[in-house]
Chain A
Amino acid sequence: MSADQEFAIRARNLTKAFGSLVAVDHLNLDVPKSRIYGFLGPNGSGKSTTIRMLCGLLTPTEGTATVLGIDVPGDVDELKPRIGYMTQKFSLYTDLTTRENLEFIADIYTLSRAVRKQRIEELLEQYDLGAQQRQFAGTMSGGQKQRLALACAVLHKPELLLLDEPTSAVDPSSRRDFWAKLFRLADAGTTILVSTHYMDEAERCHRLAILDKGVKVADGTPGDLQANTGMTIVEVLASSPYSAQGLLSRLPEVASVTQLGVRLRVLVPESVRQPLDLIQAALHAGDISAETNIVAASLEDVFVAVTQKNTLQEHTT
C-alpha cells in the first residue's frame, strides 16, 4: 500500500503564525485511515488552528499537508464534499429547527431527495433527536446541539471527520454514547480526527498526538505513550499531603508533583535510581510519614511528563 492509501492525513512541518505568535509549530502528522486519532492539548495549544489548516480554512505559514490525497493548501474544493467538519463553537443556524438544519445541509451537499429523506430519518433516530426535530436549534441543550452538529457533519457520509472538541458540553454518560457513535463510524471506514481536553477521551483513541504551545510533544497509541513516559510514577499516601507536596516539589530530581485527593502522584525521571528511597528519605527528613508505591503511568501522567519536558526545553534554550 502506498502512503496515500494508508494515511488519511499526512502533514509535514505544518506551521501557522499569527504575527509573532506561532500557533502551530512545524507539526508532523500521520493519521491512518479508519482510525480515531486524538488531539490532546490544553487551551491555546493549536488544536483548532491545525484542524482549520487541514480543511483549507487557514493557509499554513509553512509546510504542507496531504488530506485524502489532496494537497492542502491547494484545490480544496475537491476536498470539501469528502470531509465533515464539526466546529468547536456551535455553527448551525439557531433560528432553524433541527430538521430544517439537516435539510439545509443535505441540500448543500446535493443529496437526492430520496436519499435526503432516508438519511435524515436515519440520523434523527440514531442521534436521538426525533423529539427535537421541530425545536429551534438555538433552544436545545448543549448535548442536543452537539448531537445535531455531529449528525450534520456525517450527513453526507464523509471519508474524513474533523471534530473540534465535540464533547465539551456533554455529560459523562452522553459522552460515552457519543464515543460509541464515533467507534461505529470508524468501523464503517471513516477516519476521525478529534480534539479534546479530556484524558478519558484521549485514552479511547486509536492513536493520539499531544500538543503543547503549538508543538507536538508526543504521539503514538495510548498504550505506547503510557509505557514510554521516561518517568517513574510514584504514588504517595502521606499524613499531610499538602506539606508533602511542598517538600517533594523542591527536590531537584522530581519532575512534577500532582495532588489527587489524598494521594500525590510524583513523577521522577527513570534516570533516577531508587526513587522510592529518595522520596521516603525526603519525607522522613520533613517528619512526614508516608506510604509510597510505584504505579503504572496514566495518560494524565504522560501529559504532565511531556508538557513539563517541553517547558523545560523552552527555558534552557
Chain B
Amino acid sequence: MISARRLVAVMRKEVRQLRRDRISLGMIIGIPIGQMLLFGYAINTDVRHLNAAVADQAGTHLARQFIAELEQTQIVDIRLEVATPKQLEDLLRVGRISVGIYLPPDFDRRAIDPQRPAAHLLVDGADPTILGVANQLTNMPFGFDSSASSPRTRSLEVRPYYNPERRTAVNIVPGLIGIILTFTMMLFTAVAIVREREQGNLELLINTPVSSLELMVGKIVPYVVIGLLQLGLIVTVGWLLFKVPIRGSIADLYIASFFFIAANLALGLFISSVARTQFQAMQITIFILLPSILLSGFMFPFEGMPAFAQYLGEILPTTHFIRLTRGIMLRDAALFEMRGELLALSVFTVIAMSAAVKRFTRRLD
C-alpha cells in the first residue's frame, strides 16, 4: 500500500536536495548540450579531408591530371609530395598521413591497361572507416582513356533515403538522445539510494514506516520530469544546430521517451540496491553505459554485429529506444507500428523495478 503523503514527502525532499546541488543541476543541462556539441560536430562517418601525401614517380601530364581529380573529390587533402613509396610508408607509420598515393614511373602505360592498376593507395587499414573511404576512391571514374568520349559510369547507384545529404548528425542525434538519457537517468538514480546509505540517512529511513516502494517511486518521479526536460533540450539543440528533423509526432517521441526513462530509472535503482558505495554505483553505470553506446546500433549498424552482440544489444533499453527515436524522428513512423519496442522497454522496466524493490531490504544485514 502506497501512502500519497509519504510519496510526496520523498519527492519533495529529493527535489529540494537536487535544487541545492549545483553540480548535479548543472549536469542536467550541461551533459545534453555538451554531448550534443561533441558528438554532433566530432562524429562524422562521412569522412572528408583525409591527410594524404603523393609520390609521383611518373611526373607526366596524365599523372598530374589524376592527382588533381583526386583532390577534387575532397576526400583527400594532399599535404606533401615525396619521392619514394618508402617515404609514404614512413609518413603513414608515424601518423602524419592516413592515405599515401603512389604513382609508379610507368603510370601512363598502366592507365590504359585494364589488367593492372595504374596507381597504388597506401592506407592506414587499422581504421575501418578510412579503409572504406579508400575503397570509395578506387571506384572513382577517371577519364584517362582519351579516346572514349563518355566517362565510365557505375552500374549501381545508392540513393540515400531519409537523409539525402548524408549528414551524420541526422543519424547521430536521435541515437544521442538515447545515450544522454541513459547516462544521466541511470547515474542519478544509481547514486540516489547509495548516497543515503553512505551518509547514514538510510538507517533512519528504514526505521520509519516508509516502504521500499514509496522510497523508490518517490525518488524516481522527479527524474522522470528531468529526463523529459532533457529530451526537449536535446531535440531543440539538434534542430537549431544540426537541422535534425522530427518527421513523426512529438507526442509519440515523448511517450517513447517516457517508457525509456522509466526503464533507465528502474535500472539505476537496481544498481543502487546492489552497490555499496557511490563509487561502485558509478562503475556499474559506466559498465552498462559502454555497451549501450557500442551495441545499441548507435555507433555501428545493428544488423552488422555478430549474433552474440545482437542478443546482448536486445537486452539493452537503449537499443529499443534508438530504434524508436530514429523511426519517429527520421522516418515518420507511428508509435503503434513500433509497439514491439515499447513492449520490450516495459518488460525491462517491470523486471528491473521488481528486482530493485526485492533486493532493497529494510535491513542492514
Chain A residues in contact with chain B, CB under 8 A? 52, 55-59, 77, 80-81, 83, 85, 87, 89-96, 100, 103-105, 107-110, 152
In the assembled complex, the CB of B98 is this many whole angstroms from the nearest CB of chain A, namely: 51
Contact A92 to B201, CB < 8 A, known contacts A58-B364, A107-B8: yes
Provide the residues of chain B in CB contact with A93, threshold 8 Å.
13, 17, 201
Interface set, chain B 347-365, CB cutoff 8 A to A: 362-365
Whether, in the assembled complex, B5 has its beta carbon less than 8 Å from a beta carbon of chain A, the answer is yes
Binds A, one of B81-89, B186-194, B202-210: B202-210
Provide the residues of chain A in CB contact with B150, threshold 8 Å.
none
Give Cα A81 to B207, complex, Å: 8
| Contact residues on B (Cβ < 8 Å of other chain), bracket | 20 to 34
Provide the residues of chain A in CB contact with B8, threshold 8 Å.
107
Asked if A91 and B201 make an inter-chain contact with CB atoms under 8 angstroms apart, the answer reads yes
Asked if B363 and A108 make an inter-chain contact with CB atoms under 8 angstroms apart, the answer reads no
Give Cα A87 to B364, complex, Å: 13
Asked if B200 and A89 make an inter-chain contact with CB atoms under 8 angstroms apart, the answer reads yes
Q: What are 10 sample pairs from A and B whose C-beta atoms fall under 8 A apart?
A: A57-B362, A85-B207, A91-B202, A96-B17, A103-B9, A104-B9, A104-B12, A107-B8, A107-B12, A108-B9
Provide the residues of chain A in CB contact with B208, threshold 8 Å.
80, 105, 108-109
Asked if B5 and A87 make an inter-chain contact with CB atoms under 8 angstroms apart, the answer reads no
Provide the residues of chain B in CB contact with A108, threshold 8 Å.
6, 9-10, 205, 208-210
In the assembled complex, the CB of A93 is this many whole angstroms from the nearest CB of chain B, namely: 6
Choose one: A77, A87, A110, A152; the contact of B203 (CB below 8 Å): A87
For the A-B complex with A57-B362, A91-B201, A108-B9 known, give 9 more contacts whose Cβ atoms are closer than 8 Å.
A55-B207, A57-B365, A77-B209, A91-B200, A107-B8, A108-B208, A110-B3, A110-B209, A152-B204
Asked if A94 and B365 make an inter-chain contact with CB atoms under 8 angstroms apart, the answer reads no
Choose one: B16, B203, B209, B365; the contact of A81 (CB below 8 Å): B209
In the assembled complex, the CB of A301 is this many whole angstroms from the nearest CB of chain B, namely: 35
Give Cα A85 to B365, complex, Å: 18
List the A residue with the shortest CB-CB distance to B202.
Answer: A91
Chain B residues in contact with chain A, CB under 8 A? 3, 5-6, 8-10, 12-13, 16-17, 20-21, 199-210, 362-365
Asked if A95 and B21 make an inter-chain contact with CB atoms under 8 angstroms apart, the answer reads yes
Provide the residues of chain A in CB contact with B200, threshold 8 Å.
87, 89-91
Provide the residues of chain A in CB contact with B16, threshold 8 Å.
95-96, 100
Provide the residues of chain B in CB contact with A92, threshold 8 Å.
201, 204
Asked if A52 and B364 make an inter-chain contact with CB atoms under 8 angstroms apart, the answer reads yes
Q: Considering residues B5, B200, B204, B365, which has the most beta carbons from chain A within 10 angstroms of its beta carbon? A: B204
Provide the residues of chain A in CB contact with B365, threshold 8 Å.
57-59
Asked if A80 and B207 make an inter-chain contact with CB atoms under 8 angstroms apart, the answer reads yes
Give Cα A107 to B12, complex, Å: 11
Choose one: B3, B6, B13; the contact of A96 (CB below 8 Å): B13
Asked if B9 and A57 make an inter-chain contact with CB atoms under 8 angstroms apart, the answer reads no
Provide the residues of chain A in CB contact with B12, threshold 8 Å.
104, 107
Give Cα A104 to B17, complex, Å: 12
Give Cα A91 to B362, complex, Å: 16
Provide the residues of chain A in CB contact with B6, threshold 8 Å.
107-108, 110
Asked if B13 and A104 make an inter-chain contact with CB atoms under 8 angstroms apart, the answer reads yes
Provide the residues of chain A in CB contact with B17, threshold 8 Å.
93, 95-96
Give Cα A90 to B210, complex, Å: 19
List the B residue with the shortest CB-CB distance to A84.
Answer: B207
Provide the residues of chain A in CB contact with B362, threshold 8 Å.
56-57
In the assembled complex, the CB of A96 is this many whole angstroms from the nearest CB of chain B, namely: 6
Give Cα A124 to B348, complex, Å: 46
Q: Considering residues A89, A91, A96, A108, which has the most beta carbons from chain B within 10 angstroms of its beta carbon? A: A108
Give Cα A58 to B363, complex, Å: 6
In the assembled complex, the CB of B322 is this many whole angstroms from the nearest CB of chain A, namely: 36
In the assembled complex, the CB of B197 is this many whole angstroms from the nearest CB of chain A, namely: 11
